[in-house]
Structure 1
Amino acid sequence: MNKIQDFLSSLYGYFDPGSVLYLWTLPDKQTHPFTAGTLAEMATAAGRLTPSYDVYFGVGATVHSLGQYERPKNEDIMAIPGLWVDIDVYHPVAHKSKALPPDINAAMELLPNDLPPSIITWSGYGIHAYWLFREPWEFNAPEERARAAKLLQSLQAVVKQNAAARGWRIDPTADLARVLRLPGTLNKKIPDSPVQCRVIERSELRYNPSDIEDLLPPVPDNPVHHRTEKFERRPTDGPAELMLRNCRFLQHCQLNAKDITYAEWLAMLTNVARASDGIHAAHQISALDPERYRPEDTDKKLAEALAMNPQTCEYIRTVVGFPGCPQGGCGVQAPCSWSLSKVGKARAVVRGISIPTPETVLTQEVLGALALLKKEDQIEYAKFKATCKGRVNLNDLEKMVKQYKKQVRQESHLHVVQDGEKPGTRMLSNTVPEIPLDLVLPPNFRFEKSGILYVRETSSGDIQAYKAVGTPAIISERLFNVDTETEKLEICFQYLNGWRKVLFPRSTVMDSRKILRLADFGVAISSESAKYTVKWFDVLLDVNQDRIPVTQAVSKLGWRGDREFVLPNFSPHYRIDIDDDGSQRTISGFTTVGDRSEWIARMQYLRQSPKARFILAASFAAPLLRILGQRNFIIHNWGNSQDGKTATLWAAMSVWGNPDRLISTFDTTTTAMERKAALHSDLPLAINEREVLSRGKKDDINPLLYTLGEGRGRNRADKKGLQITATWRTIALSTGEGTLSNTGSFDGVMTRVLEISDGPLAHDRDFARNLYYFLPRNHGHAGPEFLSQLLAADYGTIFATYREFQSVFRASYQDRIDSHIDAVACVATADYLTSAWVFGEPWEQAKAGAMATGGHILTGLITKKEASESERAWEAFKDWIAENQAMFKERTNGPCFGYIEKGDMPFDKPDFYVIRSVVDQFLSERFSSSRKIIREWALTGKIESYNHGGKIRYDAPGRVLESGVRARVIKIREVNL
C-alpha cells in the first residue's frame, strides 16, 4: 500500500463504498471523482497527476456524481471523516502575508493543548491537522450538517485566537466542502522548486464529535447559510460609500486588499453587495488585488453572497478573526446596515460630515437624517449637535429639523438645482444636449453652452453668480490604476467645434492651485475661477457616483492573472495609464496597420532564413516566459553592416506594432532602460546598434546585461522613502557589429546572452532594405492574433511541448550551456505555435520546422567550456605570461612578476612561479573574482594546491628574489610557450 492510499484509508476506510470522493487539480481546475470503494484507484490517479498538477482532495464526501469541472457545495456534503485546520508557515515567496508562524514548531503550538490531532501533514508551506472520528459523521438532516459546520468553526476559532495572541493570522478553512493538499503529492506553488507533501505525525487517537464539543468554547451562529427569501433591492437602499466610510472592517478590506483572506473577502461581499451600487463597489474593492481578481469569478461569488445572509459584526470579530472593531461595537449588527437600514443610513450621513458648517449641515439629506436620529437614536443626535457648536447656529438647526418636511426650496430664476430638489430631476443634457455623458446637475450650479456658473443666495435673498468654467466641462470617467493604486479623472470639455478629453490625477483636479494646469490644455479657467472649478468637479462627482464610469488602468503591459493580457487596443478591461512622454510614445507604437496577408507573405519569405526565423519567433516567445517558467534572456545578433540584422529586428517588432516606435538604442541611462523593460513586461524589448555606445560604456555593459536578465531594477529612494522597484519579464533582442560578451565577461552574462553571428538576410539585401518601407505601413496583426489563441489554449499542453524540445536539445547538444538550451526550447515552442496559429502550417510541419531552427541556432552558440570564466581567464593569463617573460628573469629592468625554474633534464618543461599578488591583480582587473578563478584552476590541475594544516592553499613561500624578499607564489603546471 503506497503512502497516498495509506492516508486515504485512514480517513475513508470505514465509509460506505458508494460515498463519492474526489481529487481536484490546479491549474486546470478539474474534478476527478472516485468512491470510497476505489481508494486504490484514487491513490494511483493522484500519483499520475502530481508531476503536472497540484493535487487536492475534497475532505467531505457526497452522494452526488460530479462533472469534470464541478465541485460540491456545503449543502452537498453528506459525511466527513473528522475535523481539520490549515496553518500556513511563513515563506517569502509562497505566502504574501508576513503575519504567519515562522516554522513548523511555532505552527504546532497553535493547536489546542487538550486536543492532540490524529494526523498532522506538511503541505509544503504549512501544516494540516486532522482530528479523525471513530466513525464517519453522516448528516441525515440539515441540522446535523449545521452542527458539524459549527463545531469545525469552533475548533478553528481556538486556533485563530491562539495565533492572534502572537500577532499571526490564520486563513479560515471551516467550509465542509474544503479541499486540502493530498500527502504524497507535490506542492508546485513555486514551479521551479516543487515540495513534497507528507505525513509528519500520526497517532491512533480517534474522537466522538461530542468529545470535542465539550472541550471547545461556543461560537456565534454561522450567518452564511442560504436565505429563505431571495434578496431584493429597495429604492431606499443607500450607496456602498456609507458603509465603507463607517466600517473599520470594510476599510481594512480596501486598504489591505492584496493580503486579506478568502473569508474576509467573502464577508465583505455579503455586505457591500447589498448597497445600491454594491456590485460595482464589490468589483472595485476586489480589483485592488489584481493578482487574484477575475471579474467572472467575482460575479459568481457575488451571486452566492446575495443568496446568503450578510455576515454580522459579531461573526466577523469572532470567526473571521478581525480585531479592529471598536470596543462595544459601532451600533449596527452588520456592516450593510450603514447603507440599508434607515437609522444606519442616517448615522452614516451625519458621521460623514467631518467639519460641520451651514453649507454641509443645512441640506435636506442631513436634516432628514437628523430628524430620524432625534426620534430613533437621541444619543447619536446629541453627539452630532455637540460637534456643531460654534460652527452652526443650534437654534436654527433645531427649527429646520422640525420643519424640513414642510420646506420646499423653489428653483431660482437661473434654473439652478437647489439643495432641496430630488436628485436626478435636472440633467446636464437639458441645456447642452450634445454632451458626451449625461449627468445629474449638482445643487447651486448653472450649466449652459456658454459655461458653468456657481450660484448662491445671500442672506438678503439676492442671487450671486460666479464663473467656474468658461466652457461646458464634466468628469467623463474615473480611472483607478491597479499598479500604483491611485485614481485619475478624465475631464471632457468643449473645445473649438468638438469635445476634448484630458486625464489628470484626482489631487490635481481637486486642488485650486494645481487645477490651473488644465488651462494649458484649453480648459477655460483662471486663478480667479479656480476654486469654483474645483467645487464644480467635486460636487459633480459626488452626485454622480453611479453615473460616471470607473475603469481599471495599469502602468505596465503583460499578464494580469492566468487568462488576461494587457496590450494597447487588445485588453477591454484595462486602460493604459502612463505619465511620461517617452512611454506614451512607445505605447502609441502598438498599432495595427495595413494588409495582414501582405505581412504574412513577406514573413514567410523571411522565415526561410533559420536565423531570421528564430529572431522572429523570439518576438512571439516573450508572452510564454510566464507560462513556461523561463527566465529572461537576451538574443544578440552581431556581424557586418548591411546584412539584415536591423531589418530582421524590425520584422520581429512588427509582430506587435510599428517597429520605428518600439525599437530603442543602447545609448540610454540605466533608469530609462529599466522603465522601458518594465513597460514591455511579457513583450520583447528591442535594442538596436550596440555601436552607439562609447568605448568605455561598451567595456562596462555587463551590469546592464545582468539587470535585463535579472528582471528587476535597482532599489531607489527619494525623500518620501523607497520607490517601487521596476520588475519585468522579457526577451531582449539586440543588434550590433560586435559581440556583447568578451574575454572578461562574467559567467552570468555568458549564460544570459545568446549571440548569433552574421546577418540573417545577407543573401537578399534588397529584401532587407525594402522592409524599412514596408513594415511601418503593415504591422501589428500577428501579435494580438497570437495572444487570442494563447489565452484560449491549454497551458499544460504548451508546457509539455516545451519540455519535449528541451529534452531533444539536451540530448543532442550536451556540450551547450543549459540556460541556452532552455532559451532555445522556449523560442522553439513559440515558433511551433506561431507556425500553426499565424502562418497556418500543419502541426507536424510546424514542429519539424521549429526543431530544425532550434538545432541550427544551438550549433552556432558557444560551448560550456568556451563560456567558463575560469577557462577564458586561463587563456588570457597564458597570453599575458608570454608577453611578460622578461619579468620572470633573475635580472629584470622592470618589476619582477615571479621566476622560472628549469627542469632536471634538458627537455623538461620549466616551472613558472608567479607572485600571488600579481595573479590577483591580473584577474581582478579583468574578471569577476580572483579567488574563485584560482580555486577552479587548482581543481582542473592548472596550478598546484597544497594541504596546509587541513586547509587547502593555492600559494606557497617561494625562493628569495633578487630584492631579498621571499614572496608567496603560485606554481603554474600547464604553460606552453
Structure 2
Amino acid sequence: MGKNEIKIPDYTAEDFTNSSMPYEFLYKFKDNKFMLSQMREQMKQKAAAVGIRGFMGLWNAYLETVQAAKGVSFDNATNFEGQELELMSGKYIADDYGIVYEDKFGCEVDVCKHPIMPIQRLVNIDSGEERLRIAYKKGRFWRTLIAEKTMLASSSGILQLAANGVFVNSENAKGLSTYLLEIEQLNYEQIPEQKSVGRLGWVGEHGFSPYVENLEFDGEQSFRHIFNSVKQEGSYNEWKEIMLKMRATSLTGRIFLAASFASVLVGPCGLLPFFVHAWGGTEVGKTVGLMIAASVWASPKMGEYITTFNSTSVAQELQAGFLNSLPVCLDELQIQSSQGIKDFDKIIYQLTEGVGKARGAKTGGLQRNQTWKNCIITNGEHPISNSNSGGGAINRIIEFECEEKVYTDLPGMCDVITKNYGFAGREFIEFLQDGGVGLAQRNQRDYFKQLINSDSTDKQAGSASAILAADRIATDLIFKDGKYLTVNDMKKIMVNRKDVDVNERAYQFIFELVGRNPKKFNPDDFGEYAGEVWGVTETDCVYIIKSVFDRELKNEGFNSAAFLSWAKRNGKIAYDDQRTTKRKQIKGFNKRIPCVCIYTAEIENAFTVINDDSEEVPF
C-alpha cells in the first residue's frame, strides 16, 4: 500500500466545538475501517493540539446523531417461519436468513446465521434464579434448550450453546449475548413466565415436586431421565394386588416398602438421612426388593430411577441432592468392593450428612450447596458395615440379611412392577399434604419413645421410628391388610449401644487378638517365645507392647490414642502416673518397656494357651 497522501485540514478549536466539519470529514472514510482508524487517530492529535481533550466523546455523539437521522427503526419484529411467538426485535432484523443490525457507521453486523429467540422465562421456586428457554432453527426444524441467565450474559459462557448446535463462536458471542438479553427485556411481558424446579421432593410452600401443577424441570440434563421416571404408569390395582401377596409372606419386602415411604418423612420429622441396607446371597431377590421400593414412586427399571454403586462420590452426592426427599436406590454394593474399597464409612458419612461439599464456582465464589433429607436404600452380597466401621457409620445404618426370597415368583413380580408403578407414592404425598404430616410426626415420636427405652441409640431409634410411622400410614391408607411392622421387628435388625461404641468394639478386638495369638504372649517351658514377642499374660491382666498395640489397632481401623483415653476413664487398664501405659519387663528386652496393661477379669477365658507346635488357635 502506498503512502497515505490525504491531508487533514487545520481545524480550529471552534470548528471542533461549534461545527460538524471535522466529524463529517472523518465519516467519509466509514467504508474503509483501516483508513478510518488512521484518520481518527490523526484527528484526535489535531484536536489535542488546539486544546480539545474530549474528541472521542464528541465523535461518538456525532455517530449517534447520524444514525438517528438515518431513521433506524426500532419497530422491527421477529419474522421467523414457524416461530412460537412474534417478539419486538428493536434494532435487529430477525428473519429466516438470521439476525443482523446496522452499526453506528451504517454497516451490517451479523449476530447469528439462523433464527434464534427466547420463548419462555423459567423462575426456579427453590433459588429464585431465572433461566431462558431458547428456540432456534437449524434447517427445517425448531429445537429448544434451557440456559441460565448468567451463562447468556457472558461472552465466554454463551459459547456453551455451540454444543447444542447454535452458531456461536468467539467472533459473534458478544453480539448474540446482547441480542438475546435485549429481546427478552423488550418483550418482558410478552414472554411467558413459568415456575420451574431442578430437583424432586418437598419444595416449601409450593408442595412436592414433581406433583406441583404447571411445574417445569430446569435442572441438570443428566438427571432428566430420573425426573421423567417419577410418574404414574399402568394400573394401580395390579400393583397393589401383587404387593398384598408379597406383604402376606415377606417381612423383608415390607421393610423395603416402608423404607421407601419413610424417605419423605425424614424432612418433616426433623431427622437425618439414613441407610437401609439388605444383604445376602444370590437368588434371594435383593434387587427385586430395591425395585419394589422404587416402584412406589417411579419406574423401577434399572438405569431409570435405580442406579448402581458404580459411580463417583461426587455423582452420588449430586444424585442425593437431586432426589432430595425421595429415596436414593443404589444396587450392587459389591461393585464398589470389587474395585478395592474395603469399607464404606466414607460413603455412609457423606450421604447421611445431608449436605454436599462446598465447591468453587467457575465464575468465582462457591457453588450453591446440595442438600437432601431422605433414605438411602441399598443392597449387596455382604453387609455395608464391618468390624472396624466407625460408630457414627454403624449408627446411621438399618441393616438386615435377606435369608429368604423377597417374593416366591421374582420374575412375575418384576413383570408387574415394571409395567405398573408410581401411584402409591403420589397418594401418600397427597395424604401428607392434606393434614397427614401431623399424624406422621406423632406416630414417629411415639415409636421413637418405645425404641429409645430399649438399648438403642437416638439415631437408630430415629431412623427405625420413621420406617414404622411410614409403614403404619401406608398400611392404613393404601394396603388395608393389617400387616404392620412392629417395634420388635425393627429391634431385631437394629444395633445396640455397645455395637455402636467404637471403643467397646476395640476392647473386644483386643481380647480376640490375644486369644488368636497365645504364643506371642506366653513363652514355652524353656522360657522362649515362638516368633515375634507381643507381650505377656498374667493372672488378671495382659501386657501388650505399646508399639505392637498401636500397630494392630491401626491395622484394624481403630485409633489407639482414643481407645486408651476411653479405657483409662472406664477403669479398663492399669497405668503409670499421668500416662496410659505401664512399664513392664518383657523377656528379650534388657529393660522395662512401655506396655498397655489390659485388665482381663471382666472376660474370663478370653484366651487359651495351646501347647502344640502351631502358632494359631485351631478354629
Q: What residue in structure 1 maps to residue 83 of structure 2?
A: 435
The whole-number CA distance in structure 2 between the counterparts of 1:870 and 1:525 is 62
Report the secondary structure of 1:729's partner residue: coil
The whole-number CA distance in structure 2 between the counterparts of 1:598 and 1:501 is 38
The whole-number CA distance in structure 1 between the counterparts of 2:424 and 2:534 is 61
The whole-number CA distance in structure 1 between the counterparts of 2:259 and 2:64 is 75
Specify whether residues 596 and 497 from structure 1 end up closer, same or farther in structure 2 by C-alpha distance, changes over 3 A only: farther
Q: Shift of residue 913 of structure 1?
A: 2.1
Give the alignment's TM-score, normalised by structure 2: 0.77
The 5-angstrom pairing of residues 380-779 of structure 1 reads 389-393=57-61, 418-419=73-74, 421=75, 428=78, 434-440=82-88, 442-448=89-95, 450-456=96-102, 468-469=111-112, 471-481=114-124, 486-494=129-137, 499-509=142-152, 515=158, 518=161, 520-523=163-166, 533-534=176-177, 536-562=179-205, 564-567=207-210, 570-572=211-213, 574-579=215-220, 581=222, 583-608=223-248, 609-659=250-300, 660=302, 661-694=304-337, 697-717=340-360, 720-758=364-402, 761-762=405-406, 764=408, 766=409, 768-779=410-421
Report the secondary structure of 1:435's partner residue: coil
Specify whether residues 456 and 774 from structure 1 end up closer, same or farther in structure 2 by C-alpha distance, changes over 3 A only: same
Q: Do 1:563 and 1:791's aligned partners in 2 also have CA atoms closer than 8 Å?
A: no
Deviation per residue, 1:602-627 (Å, 9 max, x gap): 22222222221121121111121111
Give the alignment's TM-score, normalised by structure 1: 0.51
Specify whether residues 654 and 488 from structure 1 end up closer, same or farther in structure 2 by C-alpha distance, changes over 3 A only: same
Q: What residue in structure 1 maps to residue 505 of structure 2?
A: 872
Q: Does 1:862 align with 2:495?
A: yes
The whole-number CA distance in structure 1 between the counterparts of 2:477 and 2:170 is 58
Report the secondary structure of 2:387's partner residue: coil
Q: How many residues align?
A: 542
Q: What residue in structure 2 maps to residue 26 of structure 1?
A: none
Q: What residue in structure 1 maps to residue 9 of structure 2?
A: none
Q: Does 1:926 align with 2:574?
A: no
Q: Shift of residue 830 of structure 1?
A: 1.1
> 2:131 is aligned with what amino acid?
K
Q: Shift of residue 878 of structure 1?
A: 1.9
The 5-angstrom pairing of residues 92-107 of structure 1 reads none
Q: Does 1:822 align with 2:469?
A: no
Specify whether residues 785 and 958 from structure 1 end up closer, same or farther in structure 2 by C-alpha distance, changes over 3 A only: same
Q: Do 1:596 and 1:779's aligned partners in 2 also have CA atoms closer than 8 Å?
A: yes
The 5-angstrom pairing of residues 62-81 of structure 1 reads none
Q: What residue in structure 1 maps to residue 5 of structure 2?
A: none
Higher relative contact order (CA 8 A, sep 6+): 2
Q: Shift of residue 731 of structure 1?
A: 0.6
Q: Shift of residue 675 of structure 1?
A: 1.2
Q: Do 2:332 and 2:380's aligned partners in 1 also have CA atoms closer than 8 Å?
A: yes
Q: Shift of residue 915 of structure 1?
A: 2.2
Specify whether residues 916 and 585 from structure 1 end up closer, same or farther in structure 2 by C-alpha distance, changes over 3 A only: same
Specify whether residues 825 and 532 from structure 1 end up closer, same or farther in structure 2 by C-alpha distance, changes over 3 A only: closer
> 1:898 is aligned with what amino acid?
G
The 5-angstrom pairing of residues 37-76 of structure 1 reads none
The whole-number CA distance in structure 2 between the counterparts of 1:911 and 1:445 is 91
Deviation per residue, 1:720-764 (Å, 9 max, x gap): 455444332221101011111111111111111111111563551
Q: Do 1:956 and 1:968's aligned partners in 2 also have CA atoms closer than 8 Å?
A: yes
Q: Do 2:343 and 2:389's aligned partners in 1 also have CA atoms closer than 8 Å?
A: no
Q: Do 2:253 and 2:406's aligned partners in 1 also have CA atoms closer than 8 Å?
A: no
The whole-number CA distance in structure 2 between the counterparts of 1:466 and 1:394 is 20
Deviation per residue, 1:742-793 (Å, 9 max, x gap): 11111111111111111563551x2x22333333322222222322221221
Q: What residue in structure 1 maps to residue 588 of structure 2?
A: 962
Q: Shift of residue 477 of structure 1?
A: 1.3
Q: What residue in structure 2 maps to residue 210 of structure 1?
A: none
Specify whether residues 510 and 451 from structure 1 end up closer, same or farther in structure 2 by C-alpha distance, changes over 3 A only: farther
Percent of aligned pairs with the same residue? 24
The 5-angstrom pairing of residues 806-817 of structure 1 reads 806-811=448-453, 814-817=454-457
Q: Shift of residue 653 of structure 1?
A: 0.8
Specify whether residues 674 and 762 from structure 1 end up closer, same or farther in structure 2 by C-alpha distance, changes over 3 A only: closer
Specify whether residues 705 and 453 from structure 1 end up closer, same or farther in structure 2 by C-alpha distance, changes over 3 A only: closer
Q: What residue in structure 2 maps to residue 17 of structure 1?
A: none
Q: What residue in structure 1 maps to residue 534 of structure 2?
A: 897
Give the alignment partner of residue 799 of structure 1, picking from 416, 420, 441: 441
Q: What residue in structure 2 maps to residue 836 of structure 1?
A: 476
Report the secondary structure of 1:831's partner residue: helix
Report the secondary structure of 1:694's partner residue: helix
The whole-number CA distance in structure 2 between the counterparts of 1:613 and 1:688 is 18
Specify whether residues 760 and 497 from structure 1 end up closer, same or farther in structure 2 by C-alpha distance, changes over 3 A only: farther
The whole-number CA distance in structure 2 between the counterparts of 1:716 and 1:444 is 41
Report the secondary structure of 1:628's partner residue: coil
The whole-number CA distance in structure 2 between the counterparts of 1:750 and 1:822 is 14
Q: What residue in structure 2 maps to residue 174 of structure 1?
A: none
Specify whether residues 631 and 387 from structure 1 end up closer, same or farther in structure 2 by C-alpha distance, changes over 3 A only: farther
Report the secondary structure of 2:204's partner residue: coil
Q: Shift of residue 395 of structure 1?
A: 12
The whole-number CA distance in structure 2 between the counterparts of 1:396 and 1:674 is 54
Q: Does 1:885 align with 2:524?
A: no
Q: Shift of residue 877 of structure 1?
A: 1.9
Q: Do 1:809 and 1:855's aligned partners in 2 also have CA atoms closer than 8 Å?
A: no
Q: What residue in structure 2 maps to residue 18 of structure 1?
A: none
The whole-number CA distance in structure 1 between the counterparts of 2:441 and 2:334 is 38
Q: Do 1:445 and 1:452's aligned partners in 2 also have CA atoms closer than 8 Å?
A: no
Q: Do 1:648 and 1:760's aligned partners in 2 also have CA atoms closer than 8 Å?
A: no
Specify whether residues 392 and 962 from structure 1 end up closer, same or farther in structure 2 by C-alpha distance, changes over 3 A only: closer
Q: Do 1:453 and 1:465's aligned partners in 2 also have CA atoms closer than 8 Å?
A: no
Q: Shift of residue 673 of structure 1?
A: 1.4
Name structure 2 gaps, 5 residues minimum: 1-53, 609-619
Report the secondary structure of 1:792's partner residue: helix
> 1:435 is aligned with what amino acid?
Q
Report the secondary structure of 2:433's partner residue: helix
Q: CA RMSD in A?
A: 3.5
Report the secondary structure of 1:631's partner residue: coil
The whole-number CA distance in structure 2 between the counterparts of 1:395 and 1:704 is 64
The whole-number CA distance in structure 1 between the counterparts of 2:181 and 2:565 is 69
Q: Shift of residue 454 of structure 1?
A: 2.7
Give the alignment partner of residue 786 of structure 1, picking from 418, 428, 443: 428
